[in-house]
Structure 1
């Protein structure tokens, strides 16, 4: 028997009551563990008949189920004046404790398995990440507790306010900041989230067909479709395939939008907390303390920008930055009209620094973006041309690559057109990107410093990149390819006095 201890128990915690996970989870956890072990179980039953290793697969499945049941029966937790303590395990006992002053997030998620019995999973996190990317050391998951208990934990740990009777406690009034509108569904196809689903589905089907040596063309329906495309002109086949793909991707994107943002509500609580609720099948509740808010970012991917839409994301300490705004905890507004995104920014921050007119960057930044975009396409075309001359490839790939030159130049020009920065009040505003444009407004008092970078080519062009490190969001936000005098002045203004010795020395040498 081994024991893992994160922190020793705090003094004066003997009277703090212990709580256990809801026993109704015992009706769910064994089924989930059995489903996870299904490949091993099926392999043992189908291919291990009469073999000694068949019992190994059955034993593995039994151990997995028993471990899940043991976790539910032995897990217990308590909230003391200084920390959150959690104990679990029968043979392998684990004990953890998280200081309450380090707690930054309490995410409440209710998946379909929880909603069957009105349960939820409460994730108590410190907002820190280990170098390995694992969150297990910085996140405590209570799976599962009642919804009332999860809300009590959120109020107690984030608002630092005791709730004596969750069922009888009066719900504090909330101020509605934003709610989803059914008209916003028109922006769903422009998120292209359905494209990832189609790609994953095609990849999975191809993988299994390849592994099982199965030819889908043997189906009569597939044969009819293939024969129809073989008899039609190539350009018409490509057009029909593109239209079909567009319809499927649009439908899947709309479905994904509904599943993720159904009943989306952003409210402000009297305790100074922004509260986000969303989800249809899996519901999620996230709290963002306004005192930990370091700014906001308006994200405009190219398809969504062409439709006049945008997303709004909070830059706050302690929130996980997911792959995309939807997966992270800082989403303040789903894909919606750009004007509504600016209204949410003004409501959350009390002003809208993201709407400030931005200073354009020098024309030398345009030349850098055009040269980088065009050079990448030329190198690709040269590589394909060399392969064509050596024999492995035909000539048309490098010819198609050359046709991409105008599009590459257009992207480079659009990247320059999107560059801009401003300094307004307490906020440093920076905008960049073309395919995924973002406008970030970062509070200067939330910066941990300022970094001025110059590459060899930037020095030749008289440009610099100013980096604003922030202990929130992406971790840093860049003002790309700004003129050297303007960049140094901007950095000195953002963090007054930090660069003064360097600027004074530069003027003395001048």
Structure 2
């Protein structure tokens, strides 16, 4: 590290001049680098006037009839409010508002059908839409990251699907609502062809007829068209049901029911107050009783919602001969199928919030080039719902084939200085808060005892600091690097070495005094960069050098006698 500055950065390109351009790893790294460049600089907009010889297609006309039925159903609450309930029994405006919202949404859907067109050219997929404001979006076919089809109940009744075409960027991704089932499947196969559509080319060679016949006789039979990696398991429902948000899951439909019953002269709030004996118990005991009743009912609501969304779940690897893909199928009334190009998958990501960690649960997503974490494509990145950690590791070993699973690799512990730093910050924060509250109490802006809130938060902050330190870790496993961090939400990422396009080493003054460094890993996949905080200096340099030796040799050189620690230029 360069001494004298409070922060030192070292960044280098993953495809250095010393790499062999004929090696397979370098070629794959070049593809990753191209994906990274795509994120920063887009292609010139061809405009909807390009390719005039290719006609624009309409969406399915069946949605017109679905919208007519939806319009009739939307008018029903308004008719009920103005004709049947035209009495002083209760306010009818909730029903009128519901009817107006339904009619407005139906009219918008019909206008969207009238103005939306799409087409597929040799190099891109295009859609133009918009009534008052015209919109034109396109996705180059080589940048399509996922093709997702979903079906709601009204689409199922009409025999249509909604096709989502994802590029990893929300500004270019779009959906086609809706296409007939044969058209949607044909579009999916056209954009992400599988083994059934692309037969494998047979090698052509000049050989004797008898030799060719002998080779064809011993040629292995093709494998199964699909490999199922995970299926729906009944215990998954229990993992999803028990949540701190269960009360809110039950409260939302009760709130809607309250406003629905108001026009009929039924006051749900009065009924609940009578059941809990609000006058005798008081506010706090009544609230506790309502929560005790609402929580188990909310648990049931969460369980039903999970079953509706994930029934018949299957994670499948298609037996492709051209472009392999991972796909997920799920849903009961509303089904969803997501296709992901497996050649662009660069690793896996486990997320474990604190409560999940205690229960041994995690959520699994793939790290894919061009697919941003936190974008609209999050649904395409997730490959498993909330499951036990050992189940997620079993699936990870199947997804990341060819070597021992990196998600099970033992992680190196970071130095004690990382714990000391977190404990200090956990002390400074509550102390500062207590000081501010004490000053506000002295000025009579708050009660005198308010500063005790900061004191009470101190042990909580210390516990969070300990969790944050215990979560730190890193490892190298085969062709993957593994980093883990996070106090309240522990994040474990396994990333292919070839997906690393650079390194950024940051070292504050206090980190330099404690011989620690924070490593940032830029990549065109997933969240675009991953962070390994407060690693030991020797640990970090050894980690960088072992993960990408050709790249590390450009800015890390040994100093002094053999065996002494290395320094970055």
TM-score by length of 1: 0.78
More divergent stretch after superposition (144-153 vs 187-196): 187-196
State whether residues 190 and 303 of structure 1, in contact with CA within 8 Å, keep that contact through their aligned partners in structure 2.
no
Report deviation, 1:250.
2.7
Report deviation, 1:429.
0.2
CA distance in 1, matches of 2:567, 2:111: 72
Per the alignment, residue 310 of structure 1 pairs with 362
More divergent stretch after superposition (458-467 vs 400-409): 400-409
Per the alignment, residue 225 of structure 1 pairs with 276
Unaligned runs of 5+ residues in structure 2 are: 1-44, 80-99, 199-223, 260-266, 560-565
The alignment partner of 1:498 has SS state of: helix
Larger Rg: 2
State whether residues 178 and 344 of structure 1, in contact with CA within 8 Å, keep that contact through their aligned partners in structure 2.
yes
Paired residues, number: 473
Unaligned runs of 5+ residues in structure 1 are: 42-58, 129-134, 165-171, 209-215
Per the alignment, residue 333 of structure 1 pairs with 384
The alignment partner of 2:412 has SS state of: coil
Match of 2:60 among 12, 15, 22: 22
Per the alignment, residue 454 of structure 1 pairs with 507
Match of 1:276 among 321, 325, 328: 328
Higher RCO (C-alpha 8 Å, min separation 6): 2
Per the alignment, residue 131 of structure 1 pairs with none
Q: For the structure 1 residues 393 and 74, does the alpha-carbon distance in structure 2 shift closer, same or farther, using more than 3 Å as the test?
A: closer
Per the alignment, residue 182 of structure 2 pairs with 148
More divergent stretch after superposition (94-103 vs 20-29): 94-103
Deviation per residue, 1:367-399 (Å, 9 max, x gap): 112222233223333333332222233345433
TM-score by length of 2: 0.71
The alignment partner of 2:162 has SS state of: strand
Q: For the structure 1 residues 498 and 91, does the alpha-carbon distance in structure 2 shift closer, same or farther, using more than 3 Å as the test?
A: closer
Per the alignment, residue 395 of structure 2 pairs with 344
More divergent stretch after superposition (367-376 vs 416-425): 367-376
Q: For the structure 1 residues 203 and 451, does the alpha-carbon distance in structure 2 shift closer, same or farther, using more than 3 Å as the test?
A: farther
CA distance in 2, matches of 1:408, 1:294: 35
Report deviation, 1:83.
2.5
Per the alignment, residue 422 of structure 2 pairs with 369
Q: CA RMSD in A?
A: 4.4
Deviation per residue, 1:51-94 (Å, 9 max, x gap): xxxxxxxx999998666434324533332322324355788766
CA distance in 2, matches of 1:141, 1:156: 16
Report deviation, 1:310.
1.6
Q: For the structure 1 residues 348 and 192, does the alpha-carbon distance in structure 2 shift closer, same or farther, using more than 3 Å as the test?
A: farther
Per the alignment, residue 445 of structure 1 pairs with 498
Match of 1:256 among 302, 305, 313: 305
Report deviation, 1:346.
0.3
CA distance in 2, matches of 1:341, 1:199: 32
Per the alignment, residue 107 of structure 1 pairs with 148
CA distance in 1, matches of 2:297, 2:274: 21
CA distance in 1, matches of 2:471, 2:156: 44
Report deviation, 1:419.
1.0
State whether residues 320 and 329 of structure 1, in contact with CA within 8 Å, keep that contact through their aligned partners in structure 2.
no
Report deviation, 1:470.
1.9
CA distance in 2, matches of 1:467, 1:218: 54
State whether residues 262 and 280 of structure 1, in contact with CA within 8 Å, keep that contact through their aligned partners in structure 2.
yes
Q: For the structure 1 residues 111 and 360, does the alpha-carbon distance in structure 2 shift closer, same or farther, using more than 3 Å as the test?
A: same
Match of 1:75 among 107, 116, 131: 116
State whether residues 470 and 476 of structure 1, in contact with CA within 8 Å, keep that contact through their aligned partners in structure 2.
yes
CA distance in 1, matches of 2:330, 2:229: 14
Does residue 431 (structure 1) correspond to residue 484 (structure 2)? The answer is: yes
Per the alignment, residue 237 of structure 2 pairs with 185
